[in-house]
Amino acid sequence: MDWWLWPIALFAVTFAIGIVAVLAGVGGGVLFVPIVSAFFPFHLDFVRAAGLLLALTGALSAAPALLRGGLASLRLAMPLALAGSITSIVGALIGLALPTDAVQLALGLTILAIAALMWRSARPEESSPLAADALGTALRMNGLYHDAALGRDVEWRVRRTPAAFVVFAGIGLIAGMFGLGAGWANVPAFNLLMGAPLKLAVGSSGLLLSVVDTSAAWIYLNRGAVLPIIVAPSIIGVMLGAKLGARLLRKARPELVRRVVIALLLLAGARALLKGLGV
Amino acid sequence: MSADQQVYARWLEWGTRIALVVLIASFVAYVFALRDPHLPPQELARLWAFPVDHYIAATGAPTGWGWLALLHKSDYLIFLAVALLGLVTVLCYARIVPVLLAQAERWRAAIAIVQIVVLLAAAFY
């Protein structure tokens, strides 16, 4: 295959990923890294760097509107982003130091675990806990946002903040190591673990991701793992696809989209696992 | 909405817009060969399947902030956009520190300062 066909194919695939990611409510990185590393000739080092940068760009672009609408909260995201950004640096350094086969194998297992998590995902919690924990209160992790669907202001506070610091540190490590972004894990951690309302969890997930992925992206950039011919078409493709996905959102059948995403993750995860095993 | 959140959103919006404009413009310059690249794409295609260390050794591509010296090359112009994307969050955090202090939110101001240190440490590691 001629070299110039690969960036074109990459643009087409990332355009499709952008559509599916919006419809399924996941970040682009979690689909990009396993799919591109499985079916394109690029080395995993370059794919992980591009995955982080496209997840970062999507999160940075969406965050201002979410912040203004009150659906993302700096109060909620800031302390946890600090924990995640420190471990994402460690994750990126580990990922770049390990042999490719080991990272590929671990990526395959992680992607299959994410697919299983999505398959068995628990029902989201819609209400905020009545009582906040001491650390969450000390850090003033509480507030109000306006829910247009309910037509009223919703008061929120959080629980299990110490456990959340550990969980977000783990998410940062995985995000940095595999370039996966972190939206797939942030939302359940905010909502199910901490009890933040679902809409606030979704909005704040992108904000937190923008900080965590920035740290890891610098490590990949400084090591020379950013290839413009992979990064630029991927970012442009995902951004354009996401715009179309947002238009299709009203007509889409969420359950069907969720199944397509799980199937894609299973396929790409299995391929990564086999590549890691040298098959 | 709190003042810090408002300021953060405004700086984030403009920073990201500028970075994306630079990204698209520099990619157009690269694709249409408006400037010479450091490494022609057909040569890059022979190396993109190898680990980053192999790629660096084969091409002499810069690491760290060495790309700044190659900004006249179309492929490294894209690095400017990537670096801007990496600096937007640092600028936003730096901008909200005085706002948080004015609101007497010392803990959050301290978290913002530590976050800036972490991001800069990653940028200069």
C-beta of residue B45 within 8 angstroms of C-beta of residue A6: yes
Would the pLDDT of B28 be above 80? yes
Q: Say how far apart CA A32 and CA A10 lie, in whole Å.
A: 10
Q: Say how far apart CA B65 and CA A224 lie, in whole Å.
A: 10
Q: How many CB atoms lie within 10 A of CB A219?
A: 23
Q: Determine the pLDDT at residue A176.
A: 93
- Strand pairing partners for A153? A146
Residues 6 or more apart from A136 whose CB is under 8 A from it?
A142, A157, A158, A159, A161, A194
Q: Say how far apart CA A241 and CA A33 lie, in whole Å.
A: 17
A189-214 confidence digits (pLDDT tens): 998 899 998 888 888 988 999 999 99
C-beta of residue A205 within 8 angstroms of C-beta of residue A190: yes
Coil/strand/helix, residue A117: helix
C-beta of residue A64 within 8 angstroms of C-beta of residue A193: no
pLDDT band at A25; cut points 50, 70, 90: low
User: DSSP code of A145?
Assistant: E
Which residues in chain A are closer than 8 Å to B13, comparing Cβ atoms? 64
Q: Determine the pLDDT at residue A13.
A: 95
pTM of the model: 0.91
Q: Say how far apart CA A124 and CA A110 lie, in whole Å.
A: 22
Q: Say how far apart CA A130 and CA A126 lie, in whole Å.
A: 12
Burial B34-73 (b: 16+ CB within 10 A, else e): eeebbbebeebbebbebbbeebbeeeebbeeeebeebeeb
Would the pLDDT of A81 be above 90? yes
Q: What is the mean pLDDT of residues A85-103?
A: 94
Chain B nearest CA to A38, separation (Å): 12
pLDDT band at A153; cut points 50, 70, 90: confident
A232-263 confidence digits (pLDDT tens): 999 999 988 888 887 776 677 767 777 888 88
Coil/strand/helix, residue A236: helix
Would the pLDDT of A181 be above 80? no
Q: Say how far apart CA A167 and CA A169 lie, in whole Å.
A: 5
- Strand pairing partners for A185? none
At A224, which amino acid appears?
Answer: G
Would the pLDDT of A129 be above 70? no
C-beta of residue A57 within 8 angstroms of C-beta of residue A184: no
Please name the residues between 39 and 58 in chain A that touch chain B, using a CB distance below 8 Å.
41-43, 45-46, 53, 56-57
At A30, which amino acid appears?
Answer: V
Q: What residue of A is the nearest CA neighbor of B56?
A: A224
Q: Determine the pLDDT at residue B70.
A: 93
CA distances for A41 relative to A18, A212, B18, angstroms: 21, 27, 31
pLDDT band at A78; cut points 50, 70, 90: very high
Residue owning tokens 């901008």: B95
Give the one of B19, B79, B119 whose C-beta lies nearest to A226's C-beta: B79
Would the pLDDT of A34 be above 70? yes
Q: Of the candidates B32, B125, B52, B122, which has an alpha carbon nearest to the alpha carbon of residue A85?
A: B122
A264-279 confidence digits (pLDDT tens): 889 888 988 898 888 7
Half-sphere exposure of A223 (CA within 13 A, CB side): 22
Q: Of the candidates A67, A84, A118, which has an alpha carbon nearest to the alpha carbon of residue B119?
A: A84
Q: Which of A135, A214, A220, A234 to mutate to test the interface with B (most CBs of B within 10 A)?
A: A214
Q: Determine the pLDDT at residue A122.
A: 62
Which residues in chain A are closer than 8 Å to B4, comparing Cβ atoms? 74
Question: In the numeric block, which tokens belong to residue A54?
Answer: 């496209």
CA distances for A205 relative to A4, A16, A72, A185, angstroms: 36, 22, 8, 9
Would the pLDDT of A167 be above 90? yes
Helix axes A161-178, A44-68, angle to 10 degrees: 140
pLDDT band at A11; cut points 50, 70, 90: very high
pLDDT band at A85; cut points 50, 70, 90: very high
CA distances for A223 relative to A37, A82, A86, A96, A181, angstroms: 19, 22, 18, 9, 19
**Cβ–Cβ contact A78 with B under 8 A:** yes
Coil/strand/helix, residue B53: helix
Q: Determine the pLDDT at residue A257.
A: 78
Q: Determine the pLDDT at residue A1.
A: 76
Coil/strand/helix, residue A153: strand
pLDDT band at A161; cut points 50, 70, 90: very high
Which residues in chain B are closer than 8 Å to A211, comparing Cβ atoms? 89, 115, 119
Q: What is the mean pLDDT of residues A82-94?
A: 96
C-beta of residue B18 within 8 angstroms of C-beta of residue A57: no
Q: How many CB atoms lie within 10 A of CB B95?
A: 17
Quote the mean pLDDT of chain A.
Answer: 88
Q: Of the candidates A195, A198, A212, A266, which has an alpha carbon nearest to the alpha carbon of residue A78?
A: A212
B92-119 confidence digits (pLDDT tens): 999 999 999 999 999 999 999 999 999 9
Q: What is the mean pLDDT of residues A172-182?
A: 89
Q: Determine the pLDDT at residue A125.
A: 67
pLDDT band at B18; cut points 50, 70, 90: very high
